Amino acid sequence: MPDTLMPSPAREYDAIIIGAGFSGLYQLHALRDRLGLKVRVLEAAEGIGGTWYWNRYPGARCDSESHSYCYTFSDELLSEWQWSERYPEHPEIRRYLNFVADRLDLKRDIQLSTRVQGASFDAASSRWTIRTEGGEVFSAQFLITAIGCLSSANVPKIPGLEEFRGDWYHTGEWPHEGVDFTGKRVGQIGTGSTGIQAAPVIASQAGHLTVFQRTPNYSVPAQNGPLSEEFKEELKRSYDEIKRIMRSNTNGHPFTIQDRSVFDLTPEQRTEVYEKAWQKGGLQFRANFRDILTSVEANDTAAEFIKGKIRSIVKDPATADKLANIDHPYAAKRPPIDSFYFETFNRENVSLEDIRADPIDRITPDGIRLRSGKEIKLDIIVFATGFDAMTGPFLRMDIRGRDGLTLAEAWEAGPRTYLGLGVPGFPNLFTVTGPGSPSVLCNMPVAIEQHVDWITAAIAKMRADGIATIEATEEATADWVAEGNRAAEATLLPQASSSWYLGANVPGKPRVFMPYAGGMAHYRGICDEVAAKGYKGFDLAPAMASAK
Ligand code: NA7
């Protein structure tokens, strides 16, 4: 290494955190302000916010309810911030994260516009060397990834894109100045949560919107709206109870899954329950029965109800057929919630192309041509095509553990972690909401707080006991991967063959169910037990013994 690239003393840290979204901000606060560590956050973007820095597409808002989509570790933060709507829109979430960063004086330790190119572990010093694309080098005992699960945009390699004469955008890298759709012919590829949020807003501005649908999707109305003063007052009174529910249930949301089977009710009673849930709106729809995600027969009742709704909303029967021709159980893919998505197809200026029946052949200079030869002329293409989820953000960096082992090699057949927190061969690397943890199956701030608290406690313990390295063992990792598969197989989640949970949306990606499906509360108990048993499943090595 040339001398100029040697880490200077000023660049020596106890911990380097990659990412300044929900995870990175809290991890910085926890390590710096609770443990007194010297910490730096490296963030690729020009501002903080993580997911919400990048996702500024029309209609982008969170599917978790605002009062649950925030930190709960500080009562002061909770009482000083007020959300305006049931589901927060992207600018409000950025305002919130900036409020937190200012309130906790975090920005002085966050280095923006700094993309990490790679990191390597040196067994002799038990430290990580972190390199940025700008050529800076940092050294730290701990490397903590707070890089988000959905931060690596997936732009499909459709032939001809480079010849397209119009403009194109990926929803996850949306221009800050916005896009003017007025009078434009817009093609939107993708009908996941993003596409379902974006289509109604784009349609309201565009000359014409064509939605290219590969896999039809369920959606339930969000029933979004401003929060009433009564609700805000009630919230103040009941926050302790809400926190308790969020931290003790399966999915980290402020509601519990009801302990009754679909078949405890008559068909008429069931329909009444679903109708009420539809009117109430939101992800809570799936929480009405305990067996929706475990029994195909139970799931069918919810699926049929939603398909019936689609047919009753969409006036053109052929379009309704295409939208309701859904091939997977309800909520086996991440279930979207929407504001007038199906209603959008009743507009004169909106059409739907079923690209499962007639796939995209190529992008032409003037639009998109389907295999049948039909060409749709377009001025703008919007890729609402999702992300290389969970592993993508890791593998676009060159992370090397012991003996030069790359993470790409270690994860060749899919991600292998212990608890989604550590990787064998990569000592002192902590992965906030990493693959193998509940992460995206949980309301994210709850999953993040649990991980940050666990990591912080582990580091505090290491410091107290003079431990230099912590490293997941191969054996514990193999057991955890098996447990992850068992937990997924106990649900209907793996049955959605096109799901990004399985990596199926990215050609060539190993098909492994990536998040832990055993439930957040259960997972929290496992993590607590691991810690209580002296970090069982991790090798802890004192300074001299850490160079294996
Ligand atoms: P998703 O849920 O991965 O959805 C992406 C959509 O794009 C989905 O309908 C895909 O169809 C479609 N897609 C992807 N690649 C292609 C190609 N090559 N051709 C046609 N259509 C394609 O991403 P989102 O951004 O909507 O949501 C991600 C998460 O963000 C969401 O689940 C929430 O957790 C928040 P497919 O289903 O693969 O057939």
Grade residue 548 by pLDDT with cuts at 50, 70 and 90: very low
Residues 514, 391: contact at Cβ < 8 Å?
Answer: yes
CA of 493 to the centre of ligand 1 (A): 16
Cβ of 400 closer than 6 Å to ligand 1, yes or no, is no
Query: What's the rounded mean pLDDT across residues 258-275?
Result: 98
Pocket test for ligand 1, best of 55, 168, 169, 193 (most atoms within 8 A of CB): 193
Token reading at 444 = 């994210």
Cβ of 50 closer than 6 Å to ligand 1, yes or no, is no
Residues 87, 336: contact at Cβ < 8 Å?
Answer: no
Q: Which atom of ligand 1 is nearest to the CA of 172?
A: 25
Residue 43 CA neighbour count, 13 Å, CB half: 27
Measured CA to CA, the distance from residue 110 to residue 114 in angstroms comes to 10
Token reading at 376 = 């749709």
Amino acid at 301: T
Is the pLDDT reported for residue 259 higher than 70?
yes
Is the pLDDT reported for residue 336 higher than 50?
yes
CA of 434 to the centre of ligand 1 (A): 20
Helix or strand (DSSP H, E) at 242: helix 229-248
Nearest residue to 415 (alpha-carbon basis) of 299, 513, 496: 513
Q: How far is CA 352 from CA 214, 306, 339, 347, in A?
A: 10, 19, 18, 11
CA of 175 to the centre of ligand 1 (A): 20
3-state SS of 132-174 is ECCCCEEEEEEEEECCCCCCCECCCCCCCHHHCCCEEEEHHHC
Cβ of 156 closer than 6 Å to ligand 1, yes or no, is yes
Q: Which atom of ligand 1 is nearest to the CA of 356?
A: 39
> What residues pair up with 540 in beta bridges, in sequence order?
470
Q: Flag the least confident range among 1-15, 162-176, 453-467.
A: 1-15
Query: What's the rounded mean pLDDT across residues 118-133?
Result: 97
Is the pLDDT reported for residue 4 higher than 60?
no
Query: What's the rounded mean pLDDT across residues 481-486?
Result: 97
pTM listed for this prediction: 0.96
Spell out the residues 6+ positions from residue 86 whose beta carbon is closer than 8 angstroms to its own: 65, 66, 222, 223, 224, 225, 226, 227, 282
- Cα dihedral 511→512→514→518 (10° resolution): 140
Measured CA to CA, the distance from residue 390 to residue 532 in angstroms comes to 28
Measured CA to CA, the distance from residue 548 to residue 396 in angstroms comes to 28
Pocket test for ligand 1, best of 51, 169, 214 (most atoms within 8 A of CB): 214
Atom 32 in ligand 1: which residue has the minimum CA distance? 334
Atom 33 in ligand 1: which residue has the minimum CA distance? 193
Residue 287 CA neighbour count, 13 Å, CB half: 15
Cβ of 196 closer than 6 Å to ligand 1, yes or no, is no
Each residue's pLDDT tens digit, 59-87: 999 999 999 999 999 999 999 999 999 99
Nearest residue to 505 (alpha-carbon basis) of 54, 248, 115, 153: 153
Query: What's the rounded mean pLDDT across residues 271-294?
Result: 97
Predicted local confidence at residue 237, as pLDDT: 93
Predicted local confidence at residue 6, as pLDDT: 56
Q: Which atom of ligand 1 is nearest to the CA of 195?
A: 26
Residues 384, 194: contact at Cβ < 8 Å?
Answer: yes
Measured CA to CA, the distance from residue 58 to residue 18 in angstroms comes to 28
Amino acid at 161: L
Residues 35, 463: contact at Cβ < 8 Å?
Answer: yes
What percent of the chain lies above the pLDDT cut of 90? 97
Is the pLDDT reported for residue 441 higher than 60?
yes
Measured CA to CA, the distance from residue 88 to residue 41 in angstroms comes to 26
Grade residue 3 by pLDDT with cuts at 50, 70 and 90: very low
Residues in the chain: 548
Grade residue 397 by pLDDT with cuts at 50, 70 and 90: very high
Amino acid at 249: N
Atom 28 in ligand 1: which residue has the minimum CA distance? 386
Atom 4 in ligand 1: which residue has the minimum CA distance? 192
Is the pLDDT reported for residue 449 higher than 90?
yes
Atom 36 in ligand 1: which residue has the minimum CA distance? 215
> What residues pair up with 524 in beta bridges, in sequence order?
none
Residue 238 CB-density burial (10 A; 0-12 exposed, 13-18 middle, 19+ buried):
middle
Rg (CA), the chain: 24
CA of 349 to the centre of ligand 1 (A): 23
Each residue's pLDDT tens digit, 352-362: 999 999 999 99
Helix or strand (DSSP H, E) at 312: helix 296-313
Measured CA to CA, the distance from residue 387 to residue 148 in angstroms comes to 11
Residues 287, 280: contact at Cβ < 8 Å?
Answer: no
> What residues pair up with 131 in beta bridges, in sequence order?
118, 137
Atom 2 in ligand 1: which residue has the minimum CA distance? 192
Predicted local confidence at residue 10, as pLDDT: 47
Residues 81, 71: contact at Cβ < 8 Å?
Answer: no
Is the pLDDT reported for residue 312 higher than 60?
yes
Measured CA to CA, the distance from residue 128 to residue 145 in angstroms comes to 13
Atom 35 in ligand 1: which residue has the minimum CA distance? 193
Query: What's the rounded mean pLDDT across residues 415-436?
Result: 98
CA of 326 to the centre of ligand 1 (A): 14
Measured CA to CA, the distance from residue 193 to residue 333 in angstroms comes to 10
Q: What is the DSSP annotation of 362-396?
A: EEETTEEEETTS-EEE-SEEEE---B-TTTHHHHT
Predicted local confidence at residue 409, as pLDDT: 97
Is the pLDDT reported for residue 378 higher than 50?
yes
Measured CA to CA, the distance from residue 514 to residue 73 in angstroms comes to 27
Q: In whole angstroms, what separates CA 502 from the centre of its chain?
A: 13
Predicted local confidence at residue 543, as pLDDT: 80
CA of 505 to the centre of ligand 1 (A): 7
Measured CA to CA, the distance from residue 484 to residue 83 in angstroms comes to 36
> What residues pair up with 246 in beta bridges, in sequence order?
none
Q: What spatial distance separates the first Cα and last Cα of the chain, rounded to whole Å? A: 23
Spell out the residues 6+ positions from residue 484 whose beta carbon is closer than 8 angstroms to its own: 436, 513, 516, 517, 518
How many other β-carbons are positioned within 10 Å of the β-carbon of residue 309? 19
Nearest residue to 353 (alpha-carbon basis) of 189, 504, 171: 189
Measured CA to CA, the distance from residue 451 to residue 437 in angstroms comes to 9
Measured CA to CA, the distance from residue 62 to residue 93 in angstroms comes to 9
Residue 304 phi, psi dihedral angles, 5° rounding: -65, -35
Residue 341's SS3 state is helix
Is the pLDDT reported for residue 53 higher than 90?
yes
Cβ of 250 closer than 6 Å to ligand 1, yes or no, is no
Is the pLDDT reported for residue 493 higher than 90?
yes
Measured CA to CA, the distance from residue 20 to residue 51 in angstroms comes to 9
